[in-house]
C-alpha cells in the first residue's frame, strides 16, 4: 500500500509537471506567432477603437469585425502601442483554453489531460487565432472555462462553479458571438443531465436557473441593443460545403487546397464519427454536448440566418471541441493496449508534424510583409512624395495608411483609389494575390493603362492576410 501511494504521488507530480511544460510551450508558440505585422482586420478593429469617443460608444459600431472585448482592450491601450501589446488578450485567452483543456481531461484520466493539452496547444488554427488582435483567442479560453465550470457544477452543485460559468458565458459572447455555438451545447447538456439522465443530483432547479439565467438575460439584451444590427463587413464568396470541408481539414492541420484538403477533411470526419460513436456508448450526456456544439449549433444558426459570407474561422468553436473529442478517443485507445497505444502515438506525431510546419510558417512570415514592403518602397523612392495604388482599395488602403505612419516623416505617402487614377499613374502599384501564384507577371497595367514593372514579393503564411506583389512605375515601363 505505501508503494502504491508513492507511485500515485509520483504519477501525479509527473502529470502536473507535464501539464506545466505543455502550457508554457503553448504560450511560447502563441507569443512567437504574435510578433509580426498587423493585418487588415486587426487594423480595422484598431481604427474603430481609436475613433470611439468613449468605451460605451463601441456598441454603436455594428460591424461584425467589432469583437467587443478585443476592441475595448484596444481602446484602453490607445494609439501608438507595439502591435504585440494589442495581441496580449488573444495570447492569454489561447493559453487559458489549453489550461482548461488539461483540467477537463484530468477529471477523467492522465492520458486525456495530456492529449487534450497536446492537441489544443499544438493545433495550428488554435495558435494562429490566439496570436492576432481579434476576439478568437478570448473566445476559445472562455468556451473551455465555461465547460470546466459547468462540469464542476454538475458534480458538486456549488454556487461558485455556477457563478464562474455565468461569467464565462457573458465574457465569451462579448469576445465573439460564435460563443453561442458552445452555449447551445451547454444548455442541451444541462437539460439532458438534469431532466433525462438525472445524474446531476446535487444540482437543484434553482441552481440550474441561476447558472443559465444571467447568460440568457445578457444574450437577449446584447441582441436587442447591438447584435441584431450587425453588418458583415465583407469576405470572399465560397460555398457552404467548401467552407465546412476547409474547416474540417484545418482542424487536423491539413492544407487549404488540393488533394491534401480532401484527405485531411476525410480524416477529421472519420475521427469525429468514431469519437461521437464511442461517446454515445460511454457517456450520452457528453455526446449531446459535443454533437450540439460541433454539428447541430452551426447548422441551426446557418438555417436561422444564412450569412452572406462564410469562412472556416466561423467554425472555430466546433474545431476546438473536436480536439477535445479526439483527445478522449486517443485516451481510450491509450488505455486498451500496445497496438492501439502505438496508433494513438503515431496519430499524435503526425498531428504535431503537420501543425508544427504550418505554425512555423506563421512564426516566420506572419500575416503579411506590409511593413517590409513599405520600408522598401520608402527607400527606393527618391522624391519627397510617394503615390501608391492597388487592385483592391478596401483591403489595402488602410494597410498603406497604417504602415506609412511607421516610416520616417521626411517623405509623404498618398494612397490613390482606383477611381481617382490619372493618366500620369502613380509611383507604385500593389497587387494582393490570395491564390499566391508562383511566378508573378513582369509587367502589369492599371485601369488607366499605366504600366508597372515587378519589384518584389512580400509574402505571408496563410489564413489571415495576404501577400503583396509590389510593382514600380519606371520610365521604361511606359504606356
Question: Band of the pLDDT at 232, cuts 50, 70, 90?
Answer: confident
Per-residue pLDDT tens over the stretch 86-121 = 999 999 999 999 999 999 999 999 999 999 999 999
> How many other β-carbons are positioned within 10 Å of the β-carbon of residue 238?
13
Higher pLDDT, 433 or 445: 445
Mean pLDDT of 400-427: 93
Per-residue pLDDT tens over the stretch 30-70 = 999 999 999 999 999 999 999 999 999 999 999 999 999 99
Angle at 31 between CA 30 and CA 34, to 5 degrees: 85
Residue that is last in its domain, among 365, 395, 429 = 365
Is pLDDT at 222 greater than 60 in this prediction?
yes
Cα of 216 vs its chain's centroid, Å: 25
Residue that is last in its domain, among 365, 386, 412 = 365
Is pLDDT at 173 greater than 80 in this prediction?
yes
Is pLDDT at 431 greater than 90 in this prediction?
yes
Contact 215, 169 (CB under 8 A): yes
Beta bridge partners of 388: 415, 428
Cα of 200 vs its chain's centroid, Å: 33
Is pLDDT at 1 greater than 80 in this prediction?
no
Determine what percent of the chain is predicted with pLDDT higher than 70. Answer: 94
Q: What is the pLDDT of residue 479?
A: 42
Whether 36 and 66 map to the same domain: the answer is: yes
Coil vs helix vs strand at 195: helix
Q: What is the pLDDT of residue 257?
A: 84
Per-residue pLDDT tens over the stretch 446-465 = 988 999 999 999 999 989 99
Sheet (strand 468-472) strand order: 412-415, 385-390, 428-432, 468-472, 451-458, 443-445
Whether 344 and 379 map to the same domain: the answer is: no
Whether 331 and 433 map to the same domain: the answer is: no
Per-residue pLDDT tens over the stretch 376-394 = 999 999 999 999 999 999 8
Question: Band of the pLDDT at 346, cuts 50, 70, 90?
Answer: very high
Instruction: Please give the C-alpha separations between residue 472 and each of 196, 369, 385, 433, in angstroms, as whole numbers.
Output: 68, 17, 14, 17
Whether 382 and 338 map to the same domain: the answer is: no
Is pLDDT at 23 greater than 90 in this prediction?
yes
Whether 29 and 85 map to the same domain: the answer is: yes
Q: Is the dihedral of CA 268, 109, 291, 228 positive or negative?
A: negative
Cell of 129: 487565432
Whether 215 and 260 map to the same domain: the answer is: yes
Whether 102 and 192 map to the same domain: the answer is: yes
Coil vs helix vs strand at 472: strand
Whether 32 and 54 map to the same domain: the answer is: yes
Q: What is the pLDDT of residue 439?
A: 76
pTM, 2 dp: 0.94
Residues ≥6 apart with Cβ < 8 Å to 51 = none
Q: What is the pLDDT of residue 234?
A: 64
Contact 471, 376 (CB under 8 A): no
Whether 15 and 47 map to the same domain: the answer is: yes
Cell of 111: 492520458
Mean pLDDT of 145-169: 97
Mean pLDDT of 193-202: 92
Whether 153 and 264 map to the same domain: the answer is: yes
Is pLDDT at 343 greater than 80 in this prediction?
yes
Whether 342 and 386 map to the same domain: the answer is: no
**DSSP annotation of 135:** S
Q: What is the four-CA torsion angle of 39, 42, 47, 53, rounded to 10 degrees? A: -170
Helix-strand-coil split of the chain, %, nearest 5: 65, 5, 25
Whether 18 and 58 map to the same domain: the answer is: yes
Alpha-carbon gap, residue 335 to 192, rounded angstroms: 28
**For residue 452, what are the domain limits?**
370-477
Mean pLDDT of 298-323: 92
Q: What is the pLDDT of residue 11?
A: 58
Q: Is the dihedral of CA 220, 222, 225, 228 positive or negative?
A: negative
Higher pLDDT, 181 or 440: 181
Mean pLDDT of 141-168: 97
Burial class (CB in 10 A: 0-12, 13-18, 19+), 96: buried
Higher pLDDT, 472 or 309: 472
Alpha-carbon gap, residue 128 to 145, rounded angstroms: 20
Angle at 89 between CA 84 and CA 90, to 5 degrees: 80
* Domains contained in the chain, number: 2
Is pLDDT at 191 greater than 80 in this prediction?
yes
Is pLDDT at 476 greater than 90 in this prediction?
no
Q: What is the pLDDT of residue 80?
A: 87
Residue that is last in its domain, among 333, 365, 397 = 365
Range of lowest pLDDT (22-36, 117-131, 198-212): 198-212
Q: Is the dihedral of CA 399, 401, 402, 405 positive or negative?
A: positive
Amino acid at each position: 500500500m505505501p508503494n502504491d501511494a508513492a507511485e500515485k504521488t509520483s504519477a501525479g507530480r509527473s502529470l502536473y509537471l507535464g501539464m506545466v511544460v505543455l502550457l508554457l510551450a503553448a504560450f511560447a508558440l502563441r507569443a512567437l506567432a504574435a510578433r509580426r505585422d498587423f493585418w487588415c482586420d486587426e487594423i480595422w478593429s484598431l481604427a474603430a477603437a481609436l475613433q470611439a469617443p468613449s468605451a460605451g460608444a463601441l456598441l454603436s459600431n455594428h460591424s461584425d469585425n467589432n469583437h467587443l472585448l478585443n476592441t475595448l482592450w484596444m481602446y484602453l491601450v490607445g494609439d501608438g502601442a507595439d502591435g504585440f501589446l494589442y495581441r496580449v488578450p488573444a495570447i492569454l485567452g489561447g493559453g487559458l483554453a489549453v489550461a482548461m483543456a488539461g483540467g477537463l481531461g484530468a477529471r477523467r484520466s492522465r492520458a486525456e489531460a495530456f492529449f487534450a493539452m497536446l492537441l489544443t496547444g499544438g493545433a495550428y488554427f488554435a495558435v494562429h487565432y490566439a496570436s492576432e488582435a481579434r476576439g478568437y483567442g478570448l473566445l476559445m479560453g472562455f468556451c473551455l472555462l465555461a465547460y470546466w465550470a459547468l462540469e464542476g457544477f454538475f458534480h458538486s452543485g456549488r454556487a461558485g462553479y455556477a457563478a464562474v460559468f455565468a461569467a464565462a458565458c457573458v465574457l465569451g459572447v462579448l469576445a465573439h458571438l460564435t460563443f453561442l455555438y458552445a452555449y447551445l451545447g451547454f444548455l442541451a447538456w444541462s437539460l439532458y443531465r438534469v431532466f433525462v439522465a438525472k445524474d446531476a443530483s446535487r444540482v437543484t432547479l434553482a441552481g440550474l436557473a441561476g447558472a443559465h439565467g444571467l447568460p440568457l438575460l445578457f444574450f437577449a439584451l446584447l441582441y436587442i441593443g447591438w447584435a441584431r444590427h450587425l453588418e458583415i463587413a465583407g469576405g470572399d464568396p465560397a460555398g457552404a460545403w467548401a467552407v465546412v470541408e476547409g474547416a474540417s481539414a484545418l482542424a487536423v492541420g491539413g492544407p487549404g487546397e488540393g488533394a491534401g484538403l480532401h484527405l485531411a477533411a476525410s480524416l477529421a470526419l472519420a475521427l469525429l464519427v468514431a469519437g461521437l460513436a464511442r461517446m454515445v456508448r460511454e457517456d450520452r450526456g457528453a455526446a449531446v454536448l459535443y454533437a450540439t456544439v460541433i454539428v447541430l449549433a452551426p447548422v441551426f444558426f446557418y438555417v436561422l440566418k444564412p450569412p452572406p459570407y462564410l469562412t472556416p474561422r466561423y467554425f472555430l468553436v466546433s474545431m476546438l471541441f473536436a480536439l477535445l473529442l479526439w483527445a478522449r478517443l486517443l485516451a481510450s485507445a491509450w488505455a486498451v493496449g500496445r497496438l492501439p497505444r502505438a496508433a494513438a502515438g503515431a496519430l499524435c506525431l503526425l498531428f504535431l508534424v503537420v501543425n508544427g510546419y504550418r505554425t512555423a510558417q506563421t512564426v516566420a512570415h506572419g500575416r503579411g510583409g506590409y511593413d517590409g514592403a513599405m520600408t522598401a518602397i520608402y527607400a527606393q523612392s527618391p522624391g519627397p512624395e510617394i503615390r501608391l495604388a492597388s487592385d483592391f482599395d478596401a483591403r489595402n488602403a488602410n494597410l498603406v495608411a497604417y504602415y506609412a505612419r511607421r516610416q520616417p516623416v521626411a517623405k509623404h505617402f498618398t494612397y490613390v483609389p482606383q477611381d481617382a487614377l490619372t493618366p500620369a499613374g502613380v509611383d507604385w502599384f500593389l497587387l494582393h494575390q490570395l491564390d499566391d501564384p508562383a511566378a508573378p507577371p513582369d509587367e502589369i497595367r492599371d485601369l488607366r493603362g499605366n504600366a508597372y514593372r515587378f519589384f518584389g514579393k512580400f509574402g505571408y503564411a496563410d489564413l489571415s492576410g495576404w501577400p503583396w506583389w509590389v510593382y514600380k512605375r519606371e520610365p521604361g515601363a511606359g504606356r
